[in-house]
Amino acid sequence: MSTTRITGRVKWFNSKAGYGFITACEGELADKDIFVHYSSIKSDASHYKYLTQGEYVDFSLTKPANEKHEFHAVEVSGVKGGPILCETRRLNALASRAGSEGGDREGSEEVRGESVPAPPVRKHKSRVSAPAKHDADAEGFTPVKKRASPRVKKASV
């Protein structure tokens, strides 16, 4: 029906059932709920596609014949053709997994043909301290001293 792109916000999306609704933010259909099916989500990867509640997306409209919904959202993508949240979450997970497997942490990594920045390297201070000096006996054993047990307060009646 329409080649113009409309920006909308995902009202809800049931990832198990594979459908949901997008509320249009602009144009004649502003504040109207538009049906969306998972097969209408544009994604380069062959991973599981879904939308996240509150996510902003761009889409085109089609008017289906013999359907109970007046309009369907098709060619759903991130705003201005960008990635949708399920793609960015997947890329972040792949990048962190690649980094934890000993990949090159300088610069970026190649994940399925896409350049993904590597997660920052965490530098922790050493928690190992010098051994405490104890009075050891002739055989090198340190005597263990029993700690005093904590006082138990008696409840006043």
pLDDT at residue number 132:
60
Q: What phi and psi values does residue 74 have, to the nearest 5 degrees?
A: -130, 165
Whole-angstrom Cα distance, residue 37 to residue 35?
7
* Cα 90–chain centre separation: 7
| In contact, 22 and 56? CB cutoff 8 Å | no
> What are the structure tokens assigned to 148, written together?
């005093």
pLDDT band, very low/low/confident/very high, at 84 (cuts 50, 70, 90): confident
pLDDT band, very low/low/confident/very high, at 105 (cuts 50, 70, 90): very low
Name the pTM for this structure. Answer: 0.57
Cα–Cα distances (Å) from 80 to 6, 27, 77, 115, 144, in that order, read 10, 16, 8, 20, 69
Sequence-ordered alpha helix ranges (H) in 101-157: none
| In contact, 74 and 35? CB cutoff 8 Å | no
Read off the pLDDT of residues 61-77 as tens digits, 9 standing for 90 and up. Answer: 999 887 788 899 999 99
Read off the pLDDT of residues 19-38 as tens digits, 9 standing for 90 and up. Answer: 999 999 988 889 999 999 99
